Chain A
């Protein structure tokens, strides 16, 4: 990395905090972001057992508003935004006319005719241009790239609610998954959403960039007794992979469809207007030839993105994500494989740097939180 390239990287409003917390900064999708602070394993475990706070301000925000905003969103997104009430969000896909992923995103219905799309950092410019072009044919809806107007802080883990509640008048217990509310956090105007990318309970908090440091510090202070720690992109990746959440650019991209990626549940067939629908209908009728599956390694080693799945001496599929998971303590991953090799229990051969290693198809998610779990009695959380 040359100095020039470093100088061009964007910094979030929490950059100074990351430096102060000894975050190891790396380039990511045009941003300089913390990959880890204390270490991926300890940060991962903190989120599974306590809570962690993430700066995800690099994520993009695109807003669509106006009389035809709903029609516009139903045109560009494969899920059906008509099913959302204001205050509700869902996971969705931005598809090409071929029915493949331009991006994946969370769609928030802010008001009856106002939607906010949270998209991947590396895709913002392309998504925005694409959406503008498509929406211009619908008319009567404005599209804005409002990424610079929001800092986004995620608080994830079983102690999230107890950490955040003292900082806000919003009744978090009443905020169900994929619902959001407007209010204040630590005195800053905020939108609090019960969403995340870790497989844990938690919140994503949109705040004005100039308030981000204040909210970040307040969360860490409130979470001090429960040992809430900052978490970098490294653990964000291992956490999402344990939860089998897809990562754009790894598991899904312009060459893969929601049906192949096991994301048929975000395709709302009742939405007859979305781009790519015809091709997906064909694919559904014909049946997909390959599927994204979860696997765990039988042999030692970690299969990583780009390693080939081999059968009878030839490549039949590709690993899209792989790691050693700190919580499950196993090497796991996801791969596209031929449908006939996609059943759980099937043994796969993966070429790891020239060595054929055995893996086994397993059901996903690899990790699922216990929704009834309560913090242990006598923990600082509830004795406080």
Chain B
């Protein structure tokens, strides 16, 4: 699966698609493949703060549980409620299955993020 150019990536295998001062956050195809069949996604409530590099939720597959790390700092303005009943879309369409939308504290602070080519180089 290609890694779209319209967003950026983290070493923890999240993606972030920035649009103005808001952004959508999800996990990459590589991450969902490592996790296997996803059965729960635990996400914060609207209004919660998320901090770059710290956990904002958990994702659980049949095999294991993992934390979700925020690529950037901000506050949650929307949660993808579809994932509550259909967590499997994280597997089938990881790059469309955004988890949270955040209002970014500083939209220009993208220094540690990777572009598509850098992320794919990381995957090797």
Give chain A's interface residues, CB within 8 Å of chain B.
Answer: 35-36, 39-41, 234, 238, 300-302, 304, 323-324, 326, 331, 353
| A-B Cβ contacts below 8 A, count | 35
Alpha-carbon distance A238/B37, docked complex (angstroms):
12
Segment from B5-13, B60-68, B101-109 that makes contact with A: B60-68
Q: Residue of B at shortest CB range from A324?
A: B39
Interface flag for B119 (CB, 8 Å): no
6 A-B pairs with the lowest CB-CB distances in the bound complex, closest first? A324-B39, A41-B37, A40-B62, A40-B37, A324-B62, A39-B37
Min CB gap B70→A, angstroms: 18
Min CB gap B42→A, angstroms: 7
Could you say which residues of chain B place their CB within 8 Å of the CB of A304? Answer: 65
Min CB gap A163→B, angstroms: 25
Contact A301 B40 (CB under 8 A): yes
Alpha-carbon distance A302/B40, docked complex (angstroms):
9
Min CB gap A8→B, angstroms: 24
Could you say which residues of chain A place their CB within 8 Å of the CB of B39? Answer: 302, 324, 331
Q: Residue of A at shortest CB range from B60?
A: A302
Q: Residue of B at shortest CB range from A301?
A: B40
Given contacts A300-B42, A302-B65, contact A326 B60 (CB under 8 A): no
Min CB gap B30→A, angstroms: 13
Q: Residue of A at shortest CB range from B34?
A: A24
Q: Residue of B at shortest CB range from A36?
A: B36
Could you say which residues of chain B place their CB within 8 Å of the CB of A36? Answer: 36
Could you say which residues of chain A place their CB within 8 Å of the CB of B36? Answer: 36, 39-40, 234
Alpha-carbon distance A238/B63, docked complex (angstroms):
9
Alpha-carbon distance A304/B42, docked complex (angstroms):
16
Min CB gap B119→A, angstroms: 21
Alpha-carbon distance A324/B65, docked complex (angstroms):
12
Q: Which of B39, B40, B42, B58 has the most CB of A within 10 A?
A: B39
Could you say which residues of chain A place their CB within 8 Å of the CB of B91? Answer: 39
Q: Residue of A at shortest CB range from B58?
A: A353
Alpha-carbon distance A326/B61, docked complex (angstroms):
11
Produce 1/0 per residue, B57-99, CB < 8 A to A. Answer: 0101011010000000000000000000000000100000000
Could you say which residues of chain B place their CB within 8 Å of the CB of A40? Answer: 36-37, 62-63
Question: Please, could you name 16 A-B residue pairs with CB atoms under 8 Å apart, sorted by A?
Answer: A36-B36, A39-B36, A40-B37, A41-B37, A41-B62, A234-B63, A238-B62, A300-B40, A300-B42, A301-B42, A301-B60, A302-B39, A302-B40, A304-B65, A323-B62, A353-B65
Could you say which residues of chain B place their CB within 8 Å of the CB of A331? Answer: 39
Alpha-carbon distance A40/B91, docked complex (angstroms):
12
